[in-house]
């Protein structure tokens, strides 16, 4: 697949590395072009000069930017992202957003900005440190995702499986609320307990 990744930070880097290793063609952009160039040189991805260039040939677009930048990045590419699969990896993370729990999600907000895109929530429940090799204690981590789009559901499932996850379809995009809350629990536990950001969700007893 052709994967366009916007963002070359923790998640953008980890997913670029993982996708290239899995045999995908990856094009990355960042706020500062030099960051995308550095990541491309390290991973074998291609660096784009602009976000629009990064998504131009993409079968799947991954928005790996902070939640605070998500709306602006998306709003600048409404036409380019129409019809495309767009993965939202973001977590809001801010403690003063407690009131938002289960009332909306970044992914649903993104779908409003991009009404014609096939928005998917995925990767937000896995820390960047684990994304290049999503296995812990011999267990394939769950690739939890949510989307309203049938075609995107097939494609994300294939992508996650190829990256080493156990794809776990959590249902419609409204379930992104739960996925963002799950991430918040994991983030909070690591922050409060001083853990090393290597904990992950695994649903046991599935079969």
Ligand X SMILES: NC(=O)c1ccc[n+]([C@@H]2O[C@H](COP(=O)([O-])OP(=O)(O)OC[C@H]3O[C@@H](n4cnc5c(N)ncnc54)[C@H](OP(=O)(O)O)[C@@H]3O)[C@@H](O)[C@H]2O)c1
Residue 48's alpha-carbon distances to 34, 37, 39, 177, in angstroms, are 10, 8, 11, 32
Considering the complex, state which of residue 203 and residue 205 has its C-beta at the smaller distance from ligand X. Answer: 203
Stretch that binds ligand X, among 60-68, 96-104, 147-155, 160-168 (CB under 6 A): 60-68
Tokens of 205: 């007893």
Q: Is 91 in the site for ligand X (CB under 6 A)?
A: yes
Q: Is 153 in the site for ligand X (CB under 6 A)?
A: no
The binder of ligand X chosen from 113, 128, 136, 182 (CB under 6 A):
128
Stretch that binds ligand X, among 7-15, 17-25, 140-148, 161-169 (CB under 6 A): 7-15
Tokens of 111: 């779908």
Kind and range of the H or E run holding 62: strand 60-63
User: ∠32-10-174 over CA atoms, to 5°?
Assistant: 105
Considering the complex, state which of residue 4 and residue 12 has its C-beta at the smaller distance from ligand X. Answer: 12
Q: Is 111 in the site for ligand X (CB under 6 A)?
A: no
| Ramachandran region, residue 53 (left: φ > 0; alpha: ψ -120 to 50; beta: rest) | alpha
The residues of the shown chain that bind ligand X, judged by CB under 6 A, are 6-12, 29-32, 35, 51, 64-67, 69, 73, 89-91, 93, 123-124, 127-128
């Amino acid at each position: 697949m052709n994967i366009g990744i916007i963002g070359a930070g923790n998640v953008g880097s980890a997913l670029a590395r993982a996708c290239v290793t899995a045999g995908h063609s990856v094009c990355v952009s960042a706020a500062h072009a030099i960051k995308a160039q550095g990541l491309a040189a390290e991973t074998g991805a291609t660096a784009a000069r602009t976000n629009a260039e990064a998504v131009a040939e993409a079968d799947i677009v991954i928005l790996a930017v902070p939640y605070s930048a998500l709306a602006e990045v998306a709003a600048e590419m409404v036409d380019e992202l129409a019809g495309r699969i767009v993965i939202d990896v973001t977590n809001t993370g801010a403690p003063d957003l407690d009131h938002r729990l289960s009332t909306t999600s970044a992914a649903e907000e993104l779908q409003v900005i991009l009404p014609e895109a096939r928005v998917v929530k995925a990767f937000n429940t896995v820390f960047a440190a684990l994304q290049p090799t999503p296995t812990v204690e011999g267990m394939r981590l769950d690739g939890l995702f949510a989307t309203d789009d049938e075609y995107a559901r097939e494609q994300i499932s294939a992508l996650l499986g190829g990256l080493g996850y156990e794809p776990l379809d959590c249902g419609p995009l409204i379930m992104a609320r739960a996925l963002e809350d799950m991430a918040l629990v994991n983030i909070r536990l690591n922050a409060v307990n001083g853990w090393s950001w290597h904990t992950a969700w695994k649903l046991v007893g599935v079969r």
